[in-house]
Amino acid sequence: MASLPHPPLALIADGFTSDARADRAVKAVQAGVRWVHLRDHEAKPKAFATAARLLAPRLRSAAADVTVTVNSRVDVAEALGLGAHVGRRGPSGREARERLGAKALLGYSAHEHAEAKGDRTQGVDYYFFSPVFPTTSKPDQPPAGVETLRAFCRVASPVPVLALGGITPERVSVCRGAGARGVAVLSGIMDVDTPRAAARAYLRALAEHA
């Protein structure tokens, strides 16, 4: 299995096909983030692939040790030599692993306990479990809560879990205490005026609760 980047903070670079959003991801890496997850549900396949091809080297220029993963588009991850992330739809974990090889970082988006041991998750290196708290990115989806996160981490073990959804720096300690290896963040970095400062706040919180 591939190991998680350290520190275990995944930036969900949602809408990264926008130049402004891509710039925010680069700033976060300059501030110390070492894992960027490329996601854009609205982008057409060609636009997604082109934007990923352009952004990946920019991120690596900002930090040579940055890990880049691609949401859902396993073909893009394969073409660019990146990690990938799958879920309930599209390629399964086993299918993605066969395409990407043993060294690629491979994850799965989970929302309930059964997914931790389901057939689709075979071969994954980590889980995003969401939403833990209320989140503006999914306002209609009720939060699972910390106790559900705790229960999922127990079921998923030994595969590490990153908490996602409404994560603030102040909530990092609660998520770590529930068993999460780290956190994944979208709006807390991508939707603020100072992404560098926001990224550093999450990194400090993770360091304090390592």
φ and ψ at 69, to 5 degrees? -120, 155
- Residue 153 contacts residue 180 (beta carbons within 8 Å): yes
Per-residue pLDDT, 2 = 87
Query: Which two tokens mark 155?
Result: 């079921």
Please report, for the chain, the start and end positions of each structural domain, with discontinuous segments joined by +. Answer: 9-208
Residue with tokens 């402004």: 20
Q: What is the dihedral of CA 88, 125, 165, 51, to 10 degrees?
A: -80
Q: Dump pLDDT digits (tens) for 117-140.
A: 778 888 999 999 999 999 877 777
Length of the chain: 210
DSSP classification of residue 4: P
pLDDT digits (tens, 9 = 90+) for 193-202: 999 999 999 9
- The reported pLDDT for the residue numbered 136 is 77
Compute the CA torsion angle 70, 11, 160, 5 (nearest 10 deg). Answer: 80
CA 133 remoteness from chain centre: 16
Alpha-carbon span 104 to 100, nearest angstrom: 6
CATH of 9-208 among 1.10.3720.10, 3.90.180.10, 3.40.50.300, 3.20.20.70: 3.20.20.70
Residue 200, exposed/middle/buried by CB under 10 A (0-12, 13-18, 19+)? middle
